[in-house]
Structure 1
């Protein structure tokens, strides 16, 4: 949302000046650059491995819970009301615990993703700034956002890729 606000402010500034002087505007496909970075590919693989491990752990706990529930259902007619209620509460606690483990796993994956993306975003932004200053661009728009409706200006994506060694 913040990128959209910055983009809209930049567009308003461009139109507000009335194009009194020639503007040097460029666009960069940040998504294409990001997907070409080896660090991004490594991060995706790490996140996929973490997701697989967490999923396997959750499936194992879920299977254990299902087996216990099946056992308790089969034994229920032979047990007293008090024992069945106790078992029902035990199953509910285990279900709640499983949901907490699932939420914790999702949170862990999201935090690792954010921590891994931050340096990559900084690296891309630094390269864009360097290229923009060197080429004298006044505005550089992200061509991968849906807010960019028309793109006929200079595409700085190749220069940024070159700067990053991609």
Structure 2
């Protein structure tokens, strides 16, 4: 009986190892693929231009605010209490507007990123799926992921780049 259980254990180990070797796992350098795509480069350029424009608008607003603040601070001793209070309220309003403008810019940027990157992500995922099916990969892991424990299998990066028509 004891020999039978030892034999059964050995058979299970051999079967387990055989099943593990049957799985085809590949790695993919997703960052490399994305950085090689002209669509991604164009989206990055467009998003940077959008961000720069928004930052310029916000800077203009804050420059006006700082100029008024300096003027109001300088003139405060010569103005009445009511005028100083009105000016203080105006400064708070300008500060709130600048903050809202900044929050709106961040929200707009996030929406633009989502719209710009969605077709790129779909194109890459379609290519990954096609390459994985063509090469019978059961798993394709991103080499940049912290979850990657072992990188010894085939690298799917060149095949995905070829599928996308990149270098």
TM superposition score normalised by structure 2: 0.86
2:114 matched residue in structure 1: 114
The one-character-per-residue Cα deviations of 1:9-31 (angstroms, maximum 9, x if unpaired) are: xxxxxxxx944421111111111
- Structure 2: unaligned runs, 5 residues or longer: 1-14
User: 1:72-91, aligned counterparts within 5 Å?
Assistant: 72-91=72-91
1:144 matched residue in structure 2: 144
RMSD after superposition: 1.2
1:91 Cα offset (Å):
0.4
2:42 matched residue in structure 1: 42
Q: For 2:103, what is the secondary structure of its paired residue?
A: helix
Greater Cα radius of gyration, structure 1 or 2:
2
TM superposition score normalised by structure 1: 0.87
4+ residue segments displaced more than 3 Å: 17-20
The one-character-per-residue Cα deviations of 1:78-112 (angstroms, maximum 9, x if unpaired) are: 11111111110110010011000011111111111
User: 1:42-61, aligned counterparts within 5 Å?
Assistant: 42-61=42-61
- Structure 1: unaligned runs, 5 residues or longer: 1-16
Q: Aligned pairs, how many?
A: 150
User: 1:118-133, aligned counterparts within 5 Å?
Assistant: 118-133=118-133
